[in-house]
Amino acid sequence: MDKSTFKKFLALSCTITIIFILILTYTSNISLSQYMAPVYNMPKIPEALNSITPIKGSEHFMVSAFIDHRLGGVIRVISIIKRNNLQPLYCVYCITVHDCKTVQADVQIHSDHFGFPFHVSDVICEGKHMQNATHVLISTKDSDNNNMEYLPIKNRVSTNTFKFDFTICISNLFGKYNNVLQFAQTMEMYKLLGVQHVVIYNTSCGPDLEKLLKHYETEGILEIVSWPIDKFLNPSPGWNFQEHKGDLHYYGQLVTLNECIYRHMYQSRYVLLNDIDEIIMPYKHSNLPSLMEDLQSAHPSVGVFRIENHIFPKTQFEDSGKFKRAEWNNIPGVNIMEHIYREPDRKYVYNPAKMIVNPRKVQQTSVHSTLDEFGGSYNVQFDVCRIVHVREPLQGHLTKDQLFIDKRVWDFEQELIPNVYQTLIFSGLLRP
């Protein structure tokens, strides 16, 4: 090939290559734009940013939404409903911002309202193609749904594998709660017992406890859910409406317990429903996994295990003072290691229990028992597992000699004490 022919060939090759690149680039841009445009240009469904969302045109509130696979894939919205002012409610569920459907809701107010006007309720939404929905809101008949906030729908996929084996649901912190030492001791005890995850619904807490909460949150064991119920209602500080008054039972304790069960339906094998001053303590097993392995093996269909509550009065101290540690003197709160005296059980008085539950077998729960479950419940024997509850006495007239000595917490002292010490240092509450 002479030089002239070679130059012509090279020029033609370059021209063809450039044309090919231009064609490829043009067609690629068209193809990419078909896929990329929806990502950048599609309007998003406005999501609720808070844990409590008012339902417009009503006195009610939405909290969170979940697919319930046990009931054929309906949407269950945990809500707070004013019982004596319940109008027809509707579910607006969306697959995309332009594909929303409206169906009438079935409102199921839980039975144990204790006389309070507002109470936890399940708003059940049932409709076509609901399994594809990503967001839902509850509306009234005359509501204008424009500019309303939707709840993201959780639990869209069911699974038999879990991130955690044991999760504790602590219903509420309120009243600037600042019982730091007992909180730290309880958390460290639960770690030794095999708990990997703790959830707290926080309305308010004291400044020292806030430091401790931040430490545990950073550590990864604690999930804090903001619970500003006092911004929407006048929550009661107690459970008895006649005595404590208010709009809602115990700062919405039953709302948060039910919400926590559904929140961890497919995250945790078991959920413990108890207060932060209570330790569900195995007495014949070294930890909770071995306890539950035996209980579940003996009662394979049961999903609710009720644990007896037992009071350890914080007014009675063990005599030697061996756990009255100088480094804890300025830490606010109760030192559970000092309180080994247990009140006797009163057979003629109802002893409230707390629970370890399989969340996939619970539909509705109260504080001391479930209201609707699959598989029934089992009362765990006192000598197998019981609650160590260090608090004000219920039988304050009893002398120390009339109480039982129960040193179960001391079995963990070699690990518990240094772990608490390190935690208080890491939280900035102690100097090393």
Determine which helix (DSSP H) or strand (DSSP E) holds 95, and give its type and residue range. strand 89-96
Report the distance separating Cα 393 and Cα 158, nearest Å.
44
Residue indicated by tokens 């808070």 = 50
Structure confidence by residue, pLDDT tens digits, 294-303:
999 999 999 9
What pLDDT is attached to residue 19?
A: 54
What pLDDT is attached to residue 28?
A: 47
What pLDDT is attached to residue 131?
A: 87
What pLDDT is attached to residue 251?
A: 96
Give which of 118, 146, 345 is closest to 236, Cα–Cα.
Answer: 118
Was domain 164-426 assigned CATH 3.90.550? Answer: yes
Structure confidence by residue, pLDDT tens digits, 50-66:
999 999 999 999 999 99
Across-strand partners of 103? 91
Determine which helix (DSSP H) or strand (DSSP E) holds 41, and give its type and residue range. helix 3-41
**Of 276 and 39, which is predicted with more confidence?**
276
What pLDDT is attached to residue 20?
A: 54
Q: For the purposes of burial, counting CB atoms within 10 Å of the CB of 203, is it exposed (0-12), middle (13-18) or buried (19 or more)?
A: buried
pLDDT at 42 over 70: no
**Of 24 and 226, which is predicted with more confidence?**
226
DSSP secondary-structure letter at 186? H
What pLDDT is attached to residue 128?
A: 87
Structure confidence by residue, pLDDT tens digits, 358-397:
999 999 999 999 999 999 999 999 999 999 999 999 999 9
Report the distance separating Cα 302 and Cα 375, nearest Å.
5
What is the token pair recorded at 330? Answer: 């300025």
What is the token pair recorded at 28? Answer: 């690629």
Residue 379: Cβ within 10 Å count: 11
pLDDT at 100 over 50: yes
Residue indicated by tokens 């409206």 = 102
What is the token pair recorded at 127? Answer: 């409709």
CATH topology of domain 53-154: Immunoglobulin-like (2.60.40)
Angle at 416 between CA 430 and CA 389, to 5 degrees: 100
What pLDDT is attached to residue 141?
A: 82
What is the token pair recorded at 393? Answer: 């006495």
Residue 212: Cβ within 10 Å count: 26
Task: Report phi then psi at 161, rounded to 5.
Answer: -115, 140
What pLDDT is attached to residue 34?
A: 42
Region 132-136: what's the mean pLDDT? Answer: 95
Task: Report phi then psi at 148, rounded to 5.
Answer: -95, 155
Q: For the purposes of burial, counting CB atoms within 10 Å of the CB of 86, is it exposed (0-12), middle (13-18) or buried (19 or more)?
A: middle
Report the distance separating Cα 248 and Cα 114, nearest Å.
9
Report the distance separating Cα 248 and Cα 29, nearest Å.
58
Residue 370: Cβ within 10 Å count: 21
Q: What is the dihedral of CA 424, 180, 333, 357, to 10 degrees?
A: -120
Domain coordinates in residue numbering, the chain: 53-154, 164-426
pLDDT at 220 over 60: yes
In the structure, what pLDDT confidence band is assigned to residue 148 with cuts at 50, 70 and 90?
confident
Global confidence as pTM: 0.88
In the structure, what pLDDT confidence band is assigned to residue 146 with cuts at 50, 70 and 90?
confident
pLDDT at 406 over 80: yes
Structure confidence by residue, pLDDT tens digits, 414-431:
999 999 999 999 999 999
